């Protein structure tokens, strides 16, 4: 029986089928489709969740977690690590080999009369636990991606909270500058009346007009800064238009900072530091894999050989084993060992950096708290009383215009300092919370009186 053409037909059918098998199995196992690309879009023009409504800190953080592009990228990174872990656990594919000898010659070897055709399957057998180690490494890389996601999540929350605090400060600053314009207008009216009555020289009216123009300039700057702060905040959730009404929060909510030692103990919760346990384990397993790669792998083969001349078949079997005479992965082992040692030093460097950043953040928090409470309880009440007295005295003719102007400037400078110290307190608190891995959702309580700084 002539089996040579038959063997060739089988071979070509198998070769043609392999790509379709591979493609179908890959799509089935990973579940990845090109249709997923349609879910990726540009930034959103508006945010339906906030349109024409007040914006709280919790809502802002929720939007940032949902729509922030950096976090969305980490979602894809985690999916990629899942796919890599799947791939690391797959067995090597068997190989099909077809070989034909002694054909197309002369005499008895003419055409396929003396051909010998061999069809064989071979399988690589990995020794030394290489596959399990690759699986463990891939699993640890997925774990590291999870830690990095947690770190990025805290970064997004902290940055969004910082922007929200800045927006609250910008809103209060606009209220203060608007109030200053109103007081300057009232002062100008009072001065004009006194000038017309001949009680003060016209120079005081010119000074009052200059102060009013300056106050209006500051109000314009505050308004532009407010618009910029609104845009910076909505950019955190990939929006273009800031269509919410106002940010709602109470910058005046102050709490004494906890003891430094108490908070320092919580630095271990920081994912930037916690990830290094997984990193060190991954480097250790990588070193073990490098050592196992010095162990040669076996390749076993089994097949059938057809002898066309005698029309008979016989089995063929084989084994292949590389001889580790020169390459025993010495360089790979040394590299993996160096990477493991480097990871230990990098972990220590990260810990030192976090300790330093925490000390600075806590000192800033304590200083901002002391300054804010001093301004609120002592300096601001005194400046307000001095202005009220100067204003009353000027109307009664007991004080001059310069005394009134000086008291007014002092009051609004102190108000500005108080606002800056309150914003600095909450921003420092946000930084401390970020370093200890604490959520910032309850950083601010809703304000019950948004006009409290107008008094």
Q: pLDDT tens across 147-193, in order?
A: 999 999 999 999 999 999 999 999 999 999 999 999 889 888 888 88
pLDDT, averaged across the chain = 84
Domain limits of the chain? 4-29+54-90+126-294+329-454
- pTM flag (> 0.85): no
Alpha carbon separation from 380 to 384, 391, 414, 416, 455 (Å, rounded) = 6, 16, 6, 10, 11
Mean pLDDT, residues 309-328 taken together: 90
Structure tokens at 317: 């079997």
pLDDT of residue 284: 96
13-70 residue pLDDT tens: 444 444 444 444 444 444 444 344 434 445 555 666 677 789 999 999 999 999 998 8
Cβ-in-10-Å burial (0-12, 13-18, 19+) of 101 comes to exposed
pLDDT of residue 44: 58
Please indicate whether residue 198 or residue 288 has the higher confidence score (pLDDT): 288
The CATH code belonging to domain 4-29+54-90+126-294+329-454 is 1.20.1600.10
In the predicted structure, residue 331 carries a pLDDT above the cut 60:
yes
Number of helical (H) and strand (E) elements in the chain, helices listed first: 10, 6
Mean pLDDT, residues 410-418 taken together: 92
For the CA atoms of 261, 263, 264, 268, what is the dihedral angle to 10 degrees?
A: 140
3 state DSSP class of 417: helix
pLDDT of residue 444: 56
pLDDT of residue 442: 53
Q: Cβ–Cβ contacts within 10 Å for residue 111, how many?
A: 12
Structure tokens at 81: 């690590």
Mean pLDDT, residues 325-346 taken together: 94
Buried b (16+ CB within 10 A) or exposed e, 192-229: bebbeeeebeeebbebbeebbeebbebbeebeebbeeb
């Amino acid at each position: 029986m002539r089996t040579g053409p038959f063997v060739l037909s089988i071979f070509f059918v198998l070769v043609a089928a392999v790509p379709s098998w591979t493609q179908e199995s890959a799509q089935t196992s990973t579940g990845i489709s090109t249709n997923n690309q349609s879910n990726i879009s540009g930034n959103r023009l508006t945010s339906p969740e906030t349109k024409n409504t007040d914006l709280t800190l919790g809502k802002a953080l929720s939007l940032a977690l949902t729509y922030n592009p950096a976090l969305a990228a980490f979602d894809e990174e985690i999916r990629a690590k899942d796919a890599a872990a799947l791939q690391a656990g797959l067995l090597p594919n068997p190989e099909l080999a077809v070989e034909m000898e002694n054909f197309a010659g002369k005499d008895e070897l003419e055409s396929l009369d003396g051909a010998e055709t061999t069809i064989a399957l071979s399988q690589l057998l990995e020794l030394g636990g290489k596959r399990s180690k690759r699986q463990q490494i891939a699993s640890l890389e997925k774990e590291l991606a999870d830690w990095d996601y947690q770190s990025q999540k805290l970064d997004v929350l902290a940055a969004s909270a910082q922007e929200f605090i800045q927006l609250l400060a910008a809103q209060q600053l606009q209220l203060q500058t608007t109030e200053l314009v109103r007081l300057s207008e009232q002062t100008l009216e009072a001065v004009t009346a006194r000038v017309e009555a001949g009680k003060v020289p016209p120079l005081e009216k010119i000074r009052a007009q200059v102060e009013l123009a300056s106050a209006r300039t500051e109000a314009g700057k505050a308004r532009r800064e407010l618009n910029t702060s609104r845009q910076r905040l909505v950019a955190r959730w990939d929006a273009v238009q800031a269509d919410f009404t106002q940010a709602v929060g109470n910058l005046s909510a102050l709490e004494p900072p906890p003891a430094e030692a108490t908070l320092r103990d919580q630095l271990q919760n920081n994912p930037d530091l916690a990830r290094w346990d997984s990193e060190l384990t991954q480097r250790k397993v990588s070193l073990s894999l490098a050592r196992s790669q010095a162990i040669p792998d076996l390749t076993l083969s089994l097949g059938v050989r057809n002898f066309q001349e005698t029309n008979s078949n016989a089995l063929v079997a084989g084994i292949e084993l590389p001889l580790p005479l020169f390459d025993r992965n010495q360089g790979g082992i040394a590299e993996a060992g160096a990477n493991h040692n480097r990871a230990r030093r990098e972990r220590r460097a990260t810990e030192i950096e976090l300790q330093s950043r925490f000390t600075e953040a806590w000192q800033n928090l304590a200083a901002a708290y002391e300054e804010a409470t001093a301004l609120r309880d002592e300096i601001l009440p005194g400046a307000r009383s001095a202005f009220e007295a100067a204003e009353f005295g000027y109307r009664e003719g007991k004080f001059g215009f310069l005394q009134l102007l000086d008291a007014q400037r002092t009051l609004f400078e102190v108000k500005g300092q108080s606002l800056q110290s309150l914003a600095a307190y909450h921003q420092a608190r946000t930084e401390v919370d970020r370093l200890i891995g604490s959520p910032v959702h309850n950083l601010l309580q809703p304000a019950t009186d948004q006009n409290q700084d107008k008094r």
